[in-house]
Amino acid sequence: MSDVIHLLPDHVANQIAAGEVVQRPASVIKELLENAIDAKARNIQVFIKEAGKILIKVVDDGVGMSITDARLSFERHATSKIKTAEDLFQLQTKGFRGEALASIAAIAHVELKTKREGDEIGTCIKIEGSQVVAQEPCTTATGTSLTVKNLFYNIPARRNFLKSDTVETRHIVDEFQRVALAHPNITFTLVHNTGELFQLPSANYRQRITNIFGGKTNEKLVPVNEETEILTISGFVGKPQFAKRTRGEQFFFVNDRFIKSPYLNHAVTAAFEGLLKDNAFPSYFLYLKVDPKSIDINIHPTKTEIKFDDEHALYAIMRSAIKHSLGQFNVAPILDFDRDPTMDTPYNYENKQATTPKVEVDRNFNPFKEEQNRGRSFSPSFRRETPSWESLYTGLNTEQPENSEELRQIEFESEEVTGNLFGASKSEESQHSTFQLNKKFIISTLKNGMLVIDQHRAHTRILYEELLKSITVHAAVSQQLLFPLQLQFSQNEIRLLKGIKDALENTGFIFSEIRKDSIEISGIPTTVSESEVEMLLEQLLADFENEVPGNNFSQTDLLAKSLAKSMAVKSGNLLNPTEQQHIVNGLFACKEPTLTPSNKPVFITLPVEEIEKKFM
């Protein structure tokens, strides 16, 4: 029997490694950006076409590489960051993984141009599917330019798993923002096709956050600074009144590396306890500095999850630091034990002795004497002439006003409201009587049983079909606002709104202006109140970020689902009988009354036989 274990060829091993390193175009950009930062670049430019599927190009002005280094950079496990196994626990750099460039070159067409500052000429290397097809001198600027074309060209199955351009672009922007936020001293540029998405100049942390998420973000930030022996925290948290329904603006950076940590996120949420509305999430941009020996960043292939030595101490420090900042800047109520300078002794009285107050008493004062004088002012004759109080009410019941006949003819308006909003008579009301249970269910009678309807799900189904009709037929009705609404959004959210602007206008929204970081709304649907607009759009953007549609039909469907869910009457709302009957009638006028847009049951029926069994 022949041997069954054998070594894999290099090109196959590289493709397997690429499965860990390169999941989508955003993964390539992340690796190339980290390499550029480790190369001490001060200006980094990123160019992509068709969401990175056709072209990814990263140009930096770093130290560059020699001819030998340029060739070795594409070999597996070749790196300049570590030399011994102990170096893995003292990492200060990012792109230490040697298989990054080798993995990228195994699944794409790669061209590298690099030159060091002292060299007269640079090096150009072209690789296709791990095979070096050319290596020659070239003229190039100091630094490195790496171009990746036709990603996954030799692995069609992996290419088919890529999402739409909109989804992949969003992932690229996410990775770009994470790197740019961690390194505000570097100038970053991102260009997609022919449009510039970001131009971020060198700045401080606060300015970098403002440049990415819009100018109005500056007024929402509360600084956080705390320095201890095991941890140094700096950065910002958002004010509670600006908390959103999405988790988009939540960033942790440990030693300038973006991470995800549900445990530390809970510490931030605990610091905001009692300050946030329901289903609202705080924004934060927190930079943590810890000893590299106290963390392990190799527990996840993408290095977005790390292990801390003492998580409990970090939790307590972070929670107290954020609480202190919120109180210090009068965002949260605090107990202030500091000395109030307004209570200090004035300068002119600092050395003076307190004088004993003098109390003067009028020893001739006699209160009884005054009372006697007051009694003498009333004469006995006056008392006798004053009628008794009973005489004031004599004849009150017997005397009639002169115009009593006129008063009888006056008709007073009754307070009882007998009309019906939908024109139903009392007999019809009694035939279709409904009542509300626990402010959540609508109970109605059937010919052979009882009907139990979930009011939120029923209203969601009604609004969903109405919105679909409005979007497709373009027959929505809008109510004009006397004062247009000004709403602030990040640049990513503005791009999403532009993509669904036409569909939103078909539902009744009117956008008078869309700026770089804000929008102006002059009209809203008739079923939406002005106070609900911001919350409704935030929820809509959150749904689109989690589930970006791939075509126009799915976009319309997702838009109608999201709006219907936000606009529908909630569980816990008290409904009068007319509103209850309106929901029942509207539900059974739908094409699919039994299920919600997300395929959940809307109502159940209880037959009389089943109810009778309960009494047996």
In angstroms, the Cα distances linking 362 to 315, 357, 366, 401 are: 70, 17, 9, 60
Average the pLDDT over 550-578 and give the result.
83
List the structure tokens of 93. 């750099």
Neighbouring residues of 178: CB distance < 8 A, sequence distance ≥ 6: 251, 258
Average the pLDDT over 526-531 and give the result.
85
- Dmax over CA atoms of the chain, in Å, equals 142
List the structure tokens of 212. 């990415």
In angstroms, rounded to a whole number, what is the distance separating the alpha carbons of residues 446 and 432? 9
May I ask the CATH architecture of the domain 434-605?
2-Layer Sandwich (3.30)
Domains 10-200 and 434-605 share a fold: no
**Residue 369 forms beta bridges with which residues?**
none
CATH tag, 205-328: 3.30.230.10
Judged by phi (left if over 0) then psi (alpha if -120 to 50, else beta), residue 50 lies in: left
Check residue 406 and give its pLDDT: 55
In angstroms, rounded to a whole number, what is the distance separating the alpha carbons of residues 92 and 257? 10
Does residue 354 carry a pLDDT above 80?
Answer: no
Neighbouring residues of 121: CB distance < 8 A, sequence distance ≥ 6: 115, 137, 138, 139
Kindly give the interhelix angle for 99-106 and 10-21, rounded to the nearest 10 degrees.
110
In angstroms, rounded to a whole number, what is the distance separating the alpha carbons of residues 552 and 557? 9
Does residue 394 carry a pLDDT above 70?
Answer: no
Check residue 191 and give its pLDDT: 94
Average the pLDDT over 209-218 and give the result.
86
Instruction: Please say whether the dihedral angle defined by the alpha carbons of residues 42, 189, 60 and 289, taken in this order, is positive or negative.
Output: positive
Neighbouring residues of 417: CB distance < 8 A, sequence distance ≥ 6: none
Does residue 521 carry a pLDDT above 90?
Answer: yes
In angstroms, rounded to a whole number, what is the distance separating the alpha carbons of residues 155 and 106? 10
Check residue 368 and give its pLDDT: 77
In angstroms, rounded to a whole number, what is the distance separating the alpha carbons of residues 159 and 180? 28
Domain boundaries, the chain: 10-200, 205-328, 434-605
Does residue 380 carry a pLDDT above 90?
Answer: no
Residue type (1 letter), 373: N
Look at residue 66 and give its three-state secondary structure.
coil
May I ask the CATH architecture of the domain 10-200?
2-Layer Sandwich (3.30)
Q: How confident is the model at residue 465 (pLDDT cuts 50, 70, 90)?
A: very high
In angstroms, the Cα distances linking 477 to 467, 498, 525 are: 11, 21, 6
The H or E element containing residue 609 is: helix 608-613
pTM listed for this prediction: 0.69
Q: Mean pLDDT in the chain?
A: 81
Between 447-451, 551-555, 595-599, the lowest mean confidence (pLDDT) is in 551-555
Contact indicator for 602, 593 with CB cutoff of 8 Å: yes
Q: How confident is the model at residue 379 (pLDDT cuts 50, 70, 90)?
A: very low
pLDDT in tens, 401-439: 555 555 555 555 544 544 444 444 444 444 557 889 998
Kindly give the interhelix angle for 25-38 and 165-182, rounded to the nearest 10 degrees.
20
Q: Identify which has the larger pLDDT, 323 or 429.
A: 323
Average the pLDDT over 282-289 and give the result.
93
Does residue 486 carry a pLDDT above 80?
Answer: yes
Q: Identify which has the larger pLDDT, 339 or 574.
A: 574
Long-range own/partner contacts, residues 495-498 (CB < 8 A, 24 or more apart): 496/541, 496/544, 496/545, 497/537, 497/541
Residue type (1 letter), 352: K
Between 151-165, 214-228, 451-465, 549-563, the lowest mean confidence (pLDDT) is in 549-563
Check residue 557 and give its pLDDT: 86
Residue 275, φ and ψ in degrees, nearest 5: -110, -15
| Dihedral Cα 341, 342, 344, 349, nearest 10 deg | 140
Contact indicator for 187, 44 with CB cutoff of 8 Å: yes
Does residue 455 carry a pLDDT above 60?
Answer: yes
Q: How confident is the model at residue 378 (pLDDT cuts 50, 70, 90)?
A: very low
Between 88-97, 196-205, 228-237, 578-587, the lowest mean confidence (pLDDT) is in 88-97
pLDDT in tens, 42-83: 999 999 999 999 999 999 999 999 898 888 888 876 665 555
Between 84-93, 339-348, 501-510, the lowest mean confidence (pLDDT) is in 84-93
Contact indicator for 135, 125 with CB cutoff of 8 Å: yes
In angstroms, the Cα distances linking 336 to 18, 265, 324 are: 56, 27, 11
pLDDT in tens, 574-583: 999 899 999 9
pLDDT in tens, 295-308: 777 656 566 778 78
